[in-house]
Amino acid sequence: MDNPVWSFFFRPPQEKMVNIELMKELPVFESLTTGELVQIERVLHERHYGPGEVVFNEGEPGAGLYIIKKGEISIRKKIAGSNDIQLAVIPERSFFGELALLDEIPRSASAIAVTPTILYGFSKPDLEHLLERNQRLGIKIILNLSKLVSRRLVKSNENLEEVQAELNRFKQKEAD
Amino acid sequence: MQRGAANQIIRFGFYMLVAMVTVVILYSIKILFFPLVIALLLKFLLQPAVNFLETRGMRRLTALTTLYLIIIIVAGAALCVIIPLLIKEARNFSANLPLYEKMFESALCNIRELILQKFPSATVPDLYAVVHGFFEKKSAHFIESLPRYVSTAASILSIAAIVPVIAFFYLADGHLIQKALLRLAPNRYFEMFVLLSDKVLGAVQAFIRGQLIDALSVGVMTSVGLALIGMPYFLVIGIIAGLGNLIPYLGPVIGFIPAFVVLLVSPLGFSTIGLLKVLVVFVMVQFIEGTFIYPLAVGKSVNLHPLVVIIGVTIGGMLGGIVGMLIIIPIICVVKVTLEVMYSYLKQYSII
């Protein structure tokens, strides 16, 4: 049942419940009812990746977020004048690429499977169709995404302040 | 080793079975090609209404069933009005046929005489004899192939019955079909396929829906306008004008030709005022369609150069007669939209 085409037609029903349990743990689907999660589960795209296989490349238009059901994903970024560096390793039962749900901006980093990995893709067109058909559910997801982005913005501002303070201290030391 | 061989045989048998099912499915698609395409058009047209009902809190299946019930009631009521009108028009036409023939003969004789008056040295054939001979041949051919027409009509009826059923399943499970197809995309191009299929489908859907709304509006407006000025056969002319509207630039002419012929054979005789009235109706319909309906329904995204339209209609006519002429322009537009979207995406992915 490794072949994704066969598994689409012959999917055991208990797998659906496992996916819903996994989705309940993710902040992007926070406060969604089981019924609403079933609706989203229906549109998820199951993808299988081998070690070293690229999920998406930096600079390409982003299609949506991915939930890691099994395996690990390395997030890598190209740095001018050197090899690309690893920014993070995303573990099992978490997600990445959520900004692409809000805007089709180019991916800011590449995502590469570290181990044999199973991902569930939730694309921007899927979210848009959900918004057309079930506005309440669509708005809940967008609200959760906004919360994630605002939390990340606060974190980025704190980091920036720390770097600024560090820089000031360094300049002061240089002046002395 | 033996087990391996048995597995191989079982695997071979399974793939053979899948291949047979695929062949049967492909053969069914070949037979059902037209119903599948027409059902897809119906799906594009009804999708917004189903989505609207869903946003009001209905489940998709309930929304679909409600919509189908509303359509059956409205279409039934409309047919109760339209079918007697069409029958009345057909009866009128057959009753008046000898009179029309006479009017047509005198109109053609007048034209011949007019030409001979202006150019006495010209040799003008007896126009009526030419046209009459042509139609006589055609009618003999029609009677000969009547059984074929009857079977065609039966197959059209069976298609008409199957189309709403297929459209129902497209509307209920369309996303599953798209999802199953996306499964076939290689991992490397999965994101590109997701975005590309969404954009292409969205653009094609909007275009086809716009065209159908536009054609329907032109048909209704022409029928109402002609009915208001007391033109006979206003319904048939309206239907022809609506269908003809699928061809840009030539559409209004296609609608005007039958109106002109009806004027020509009118029992009251051909009158300039009658012609003026019909012209006013057609110009007004074109004005309203061009100014308000087309920009709203179809938009300016699919502008075809007049030369492309002329070449397209000629090729369409050569390949598929009148039906070919009608459907070639929407096909060209769909291909144009698809290529435009594909080009911009393949560029973004640095593939071209």
Residue B66 in domain: yes
Domain count, chain B: 1
Tell me which of A58-62, A170-174, B3-7 is least confident.
B3-7
Q: Quick check: B348 and A60 CB within 8 A?
A: yes
Supply the pLDDT for residue B138.
66
Supply the pLDDT for residue A1.
45
**Average pLDDT for residues B23-43, to the nearest whole number?**
81
Q: Tell me the domains of chain A and their CATH numbers.
A: 4-175 (2.60.120.10)
Residue B141 in domain: yes
Supply the pLDDT for residue B299.
67
Range A138-166 burial, b when 16+ CB lie within 10 A, else e = bebbeebbeebeeeeeeeeeeeeeeeeee
Token look-up 């893709």 returns: A121
Q: B220 with B239: CB under 8 angstroms?
A: no
ipTM over 0.90? The verdict is no
Q: Quick check: A134 and B345 CB within 8 A?
A: no
Cβ under 8 Å to A: B residues 331-350? 345, 348-349
Residue B108 in domain: yes
Torsion of CA B232, B233, B234, B238, to 10 degrees: -160
Supply the pLDDT for residue A67.
95
Query: Residue B46, Cβ neighbours under 10 Å: how many?
Result: 20
Q: Quick check: A133 and B54 CB within 8 A?
A: yes
**Cβ contacts of A110 on chain B, cutoff 8 Å:** none
| pLDDT reading at A109 higher than 80 | yes
**Structural domain of B64:** 34-173
Higher pLDDT, B343 or B147: B343
Q: Quick check: B195 and A134 CB within 8 A?
A: no
**Average pLDDT for residues A10-15, to the nearest whole number?**
64
List the Cα angle B345/B179/A89 in 5-degree steps. 70
Supply the pLDDT for residue A156.
92
A108 and chain B in contact, CB less than 8 A: no
**Average pLDDT for residues A32-44, to the nearest whole number?**
90
**Average pLDDT for residues B36-65, to the nearest whole number?**
85
Residue B17 in domain: no
Residue B49 in domain: yes
Chain A with chain B: Cβ pairs closer than 8 A: 62
Residue B93 in domain: yes
Q: Quick check: B349 and A125 CB within 8 A?
A: no
What does each C-alpha distance from B219 to A77, A84, A154, B226, B324 come to in angstroms? Answer: 58, 62, 59, 11, 20
Q: Quick check: B187 and A56 CB within 8 A?
A: no
Q: Please provide residue A56's backbone torsions phi and psi, each rounded to the nearest 5 degrees.
A: -155, 160
Supply the pLDDT for residue A125.
92
Cβ under 8 Å to A: B residues 151-190? 175, 179-180, 182-184, 187-188, 190
Residue B266 in domain: no
CA distance A63 to chain B (A): 5
**Average pLDDT for residues B165-177, to the nearest whole number?**
87
Residue B154 in domain: yes
Which residue among B51, B183, B188 sits closest to A54, beta carbon to beta carbon? Answer: B188
A121 and chain B in contact, CB less than 8 A: yes
Token look-up 């999965």 returns: B190
**Average pLDDT for residues B197-211, to the nearest whole number?**
82
Q: Quick check: B194 and A45 CB within 8 A?
A: yes
| pLDDT reading at B20 higher than 80 | yes
Q: B71 with B192: CB under 8 angstroms?
A: no
Binning pLDDT at 50, 70 and 90, where does residue A12 land? low
CA distance A56 to chain B (A): 7
